[in-house]
Amino acid sequence: MTNSIPEIRDADFLFVIGSNTTEAHPIIAMEMKRAVYRGATLVVADPRAIWLTEVADLHLQLHPGTDVWLLNAMAHVIIEEDLVDHAFIEAHVEGFDAVAAAVADYTPEQAEQVTGIPADHIRRVARQYATTERAGIYYTLGITEHTHGTDNVYALANLVLMTGHLGKPSAGMNPLRGQNNVQGANDAGASPVFYPGYQRVTDDDARQRFEAAWGVPLSPFPGTTLPAMMEGVKHGTVKGLYVMGEDILLSEPNCRDLEEAMNRLEFMVVQDIFFNETCRFADVVLPAACFAEKDGVFTNSDRRVQRVRKAVEPPGDARADWEILCDVARGVGYPMPHYAHPREVYAEMAALCDKFAGIRHERIDQDPRGLQWPCPTADHPGTPTLHVDGPMRGKALMTPVTYRPSAELPDVEYPLILSTGRTLYHYNCATQTRRERHAPLTQPENFLQIHPWDARRLGVAHGDRIEVRSRRGAVRARAQVTKDVRKGCVWMPLHFAEARANLLTNEAGDAVTGTAEYKVCAVAVARVDQDGDEAVAAR
d(CA 112, CA 354): 47
SS3 454: helix
Mapping DSSP to helix (H, G, I), strand (E, B) and coil, where does residue 534 land?
A: strand
pLDDT band, very low/low/confident/very high, at 533 (cuts 50, 70, 90): low
CATH architecture of the region 5-176: 3-Layer(aba) Sandwich (3.40)
- CATH level 2 (architecture), domain 416-536: Beta Barrel (2.40)
| Average pLDDT score over the chain | 92
pLDDT in tens, 112-130: 999 999 999 999 999 999 9
Phi then psi for 13, rounded to 5 degrees?
-145, 125
Instruction: Note the pLDDT of residue 499.
Output: 75
Q: Which of 177-191, 416-430, 509-523 has the lowest mean pLDDT?
A: 416-430
Residue 145: which of 494, 424, 461 has the closest Cα?
A: 494
Specify which residues 43 forms β-bridges with. 15, 58
pLDDT (0 to 100) of residue 421: 86
Report which of 514, 512, 513, 534 is spatially closest to residue 525, judged by C-alpha positions. Answer: 534
Domain 224-287, CATH 3.40.50.740 — does that match? yes
pTM: 0.92
pLDDT above 70: percentage of residues in the chain: 95
pLDDT value at residue 433: 66
Predicted confidence (pLDDT) per residue in 210-219, tens digit: 999 999 999 9
CA distances from 21 to 299, 422, 497 (A): 19, 10, 24
pLDDT of residue 432: 67
- 522 and 417 in contact (C-beta within 8 Å)? yes
Q: Residue 539 has what pLDDT? A: 39
- Statement: residue 537 has pLDDT above 60: no
Mean pLDDT over residues 428-451, rounded? Answer: 73
The set of residues, in sequence order, having a beta carbon less than 8 Å from that of 506 and lying 6+ positions away, is 253, 254, 407, 408, 470, 471, 472, 516, 517, 520, 521
Architecture of domain 177-223+290-306+325-377: 3-Layer(aba) Sandwich (3.40)
Q: What is the mean pLDDT of residues 271-299?
A: 93
- Segment 338-345 shows an average pLDDT of 95
What three-state secondary structure class fits 42? strand
Q: What is the pLDDT of residue 538?
A: 43
Cis, bond preceding 452 (omega within 30 deg of 0): no
Mean pLDDT of 141-164: 95
**What span, in angstroms and rounded, lies between the C-alpha atoms of 394 and 289?**
43
CA distance 182 to 389: 27
The mean pLDDT of 106-110, rounded to a whole number, is 97
pLDDT band at 511 (very low <50, low <70, confident <90, very high): confident
Per-residue model confidence as pLDDT tens digits over 346-403: 999 999 999 999 999 999 998 888 999 999 999 999 999 999 988 888 899 999 999 9
Residue 158 has pLDDT above 90, yes or no: yes
Q: What is the mean pLDDT of residues 180-192?
A: 91
Q: Do domains 5-176 and 416-536 have the same CATH topology?
A: no
* pLDDT number for residue 221: 95
> Is residue 293 predicted with pLDDT exceeding 80?
yes
Distance CA 44, CA 198 (A): 31
- When pLDDT is averaged across residues 13-38 and rounded to a whole number, the result is 95
**Cα–Cα distance measured from residue 366 to residue 364, given in angstroms and rounded to the nearest whole number:** 5
Among the residues of 9-107, which ranges form H helices?
Answer: 21-24, 26-38, 67-80, 86-92, 96-102
- Separation between Cα atoms, residue 122 and residue 521, nearest integer Å: 26
Comparing C-alpha atoms, which of 241, 233, 191 is closest to residue 507? 233
Q: Kindly list the domain boundaries of the chain, sorted by start residue.
A: 5-176, 177-223+290-306+325-377, 224-287, 416-536
